[in-house]
Amino acid sequence: MPLATLLGRAVRAVASDITPLRESVAFRRLFAGQVVSLVGTQVTRVAVPLQVYAITRSSLDVGLIGLAALVPLVVFGLYGGSIADAVDRRKLVLLTSTATMLVSAALLVQAVLQIDRISVLFACVAVQSAFAAVDSPTRRAIIPQLVRTEKLPAANTLAYGTTQLAIIVGPLLAGVAVGAGGFGWAYAIDVGSFAAAFYAAVRLPSLPPGQGARRPGLASVVEGLRFVAGRRVVLMTFVADLIAMIFGTPAALFPALAYGVYGGGAGTAGLLYAAPAVGAVIVTLLGGAIGRVHRHGLGVVLSIGVWGLAITLFGLTSTLWLGLGLLAFAGAADTVSAVYRSTILQVATPAGMQGRLQAVFIVVVVGGPRLGDLESGAVATAFTPRVSVVSGGLACLAGIGLLALAVPALLRYDARAAAARQAAAEEPGS
């Protein structure tokens, strides 16, 4: 066999599966708009803390930005999912994109007018977070409507990869924009990015609510939570993620490690923050094998085990390049876990409940790391940052091991059988 043919097959075997982009024009539009808007979002997430610090010179005020964003995200997240299940999702994305773009425009105006009031910045962050709490689960709920079930892992891999790429590109772009032209330039980039997302949403087909849709409200939210509680494998994917994020998230310790362990400064801390995203992007580009695995539950357990091991080793090293490599490896494992957890949830959930279940997913994904920051900070205060990292990694390994032993159904989960059961359940008259 010619060498060129062998190389071509090898590349196709490891390269990320882009079939969803080729097969679905609608998914391609959703994906393109999301790529651009995510970069803009990351630009703002860096620009706002920089502006707050420039106004007050207070790290506490900067820290409060996270609280201003988290509370609306949790409060509106679950309700936003029930809205996504009750209305045309295309129209809802158009509404949330427009509203978020207007908030970005308000940030731009206050920067140009040099209002310099952190209350205005906090209000903008809170409102933008509330709309994001509706927008994010809606976009995730749209994916199963646009992509074949067997291609959901590939679609999720692409989605997670672009998110991580935005986490790398956005802060770099924010630094250049703020340094070259001030905060207004950064917010202008965000406004433009949401305009692109709005245009992409306009081009989507109508996406009416699925079977079993009901009016949004508390009863609808409770129904979604009961659905999760009644699907043991789905519930255990949330538990697995919480184990990884609460015990194995060392992000809050990066500044202390950068100064105290690696002898660096802000630049070193920036490298530590970016390293997991680099690993996630790499596994996305070389993630062709992810879509060919059907034992998704086993994939979740093994990925979180790799995450815990990488974090433990990271806590033991004093060599920067090795630490960065271990964080990148951990980020790659986390992405694999996220892809399989998302796919398990999407396959198990009827079309009429996708929004509510994706909202639960978002709340767990966002809330878990914040609890992890609290846990790691408390242990570091009682002992040392390195003890916190190592003990957290070991706790993650122990936790995921116990979960695997306690719930063997998670290890046995097969995506093909699950998809067949769900298809049979959704057939008319079944």
Local structure of 155: helix, strand or coil: helix
Regarding whether 36 and 156 lie in a shared domain, the answer is yes
Asked if 285 contacts 16 with a C-beta cutoff of 8 angstroms, the reply is: yes
Regarding whether 178 and 276 lie in a shared domain, the answer is no
Query: Which domain covers residue 275, as residue numbers?
Result: 214-430
Regarding whether 251 and 117 lie in a shared domain, the answer is no
Among residues 156, 183, 209, the one where a domain terminates is: 209
CATH number at residue 287: 1.20.1250.20
Regarding whether 140 and 242 lie in a shared domain, the answer is no
Q: State the Cα torsion 231-237-240-245 to the nearest 10°.
A: -130
Asked if 165 contacts 281 with a C-beta cutoff of 8 angstroms, the reply is: yes
- The reply to whether 6 falls in a domain is no
Among residues 159, 184, 209, the one where a domain terminates is: 209
Q: What is the Cβ-side half-sphere exposure of residue 46, based on CA atoms within 13 angstroms?
A: 26
How does pLDDT run along the chain (430 residues), one tens digit per residue? 554 444 344 334 445 678 889 899 999 999 988 889 999 988 888 788 788 878 887 656 766 776 788 788 888 877 777 888 888 889 999 999 999 999 999 999 999 999 989 999 999 999 998 998 888 888 888 888 899 888 888 888 888 778 878 878 887 787 778 888 888 999 999 999 988 888 888 988 888 876 555 666 667 777 778 888 888 888 999 999 999 999 998 887 887 888 888 888 766 777 888 888 889 888 887 766 777 778 889 999 999 999 999 999 999 999 999 999 999 999 999 999 998 998 888 888 777 777 788 788 888 887 788 778 778 888 888 898 899 999 999 999 999 999 999 999 999 988 777 667 666 665 655 4
- The reply to whether 117 falls in a domain is yes
User: In whole angstroms, what is the distance from residue 299 CA to residue 411 CA?
Assistant: 8
Q: Which residue type does 33 have?
A: G
Regarding whether 282 and 222 lie in a shared domain, the answer is yes
Domain count, the chain: 2
User: In whole angstroms, what is the distance from residue 342 CA to residue 339 CA?
Assistant: 5
User: In whole angstroms, what is the distance from residue 49 CA to residue 55 CA?
Assistant: 10
Regarding whether 299 and 256 lie in a shared domain, the answer is yes
Regarding whether 161 and 88 lie in a shared domain, the answer is yes
Contacts of residue 2, defined as CB under 8 A and 6 or more positions apart, other chains included, come to: none
Asked if 140 contacts 92 with a C-beta cutoff of 8 angstroms, the reply is: no
Instruction: Look at residue 184 in the predicted model and tell me its pLDDT.
Output: 94
Regarding whether 300 and 235 lie in a shared domain, the answer is yes
Contacts of residue 176, defined as CB under 8 A and 6 or more positions apart, other chains included, come to: none
Residue with tokens 């060129």: 4
The closest alpha carbon to 100, from 79, 117, 76, belongs to 76
Instruction: Look at residue 408 in the predicted model and tell me its pLDDT.
Output: 93
The 3 state secondary structure assigned to 345-405 is HHHHCCHHHHHHHHHHHHHHHHHHHHHHHHHHHHHHHHCCHHHHHHHHHHHHHHHHHHHHH
Q: What is the Cβ-side half-sphere exposure of residue 329, based on CA atoms within 13 angstroms?
A: 16
Regarding whether 342 and 263 lie in a shared domain, the answer is yes
Among residues 145, 176, 209, the one where a domain terminates is: 209
- The reply to whether 4 falls in a domain is no
User: In whole angstroms, what is the distance from residue 388 CA to residue 210 CA?
Assistant: 46
Instruction: Look at residue 7 in the predicted model and tell me its pLDDT.
Output: 37
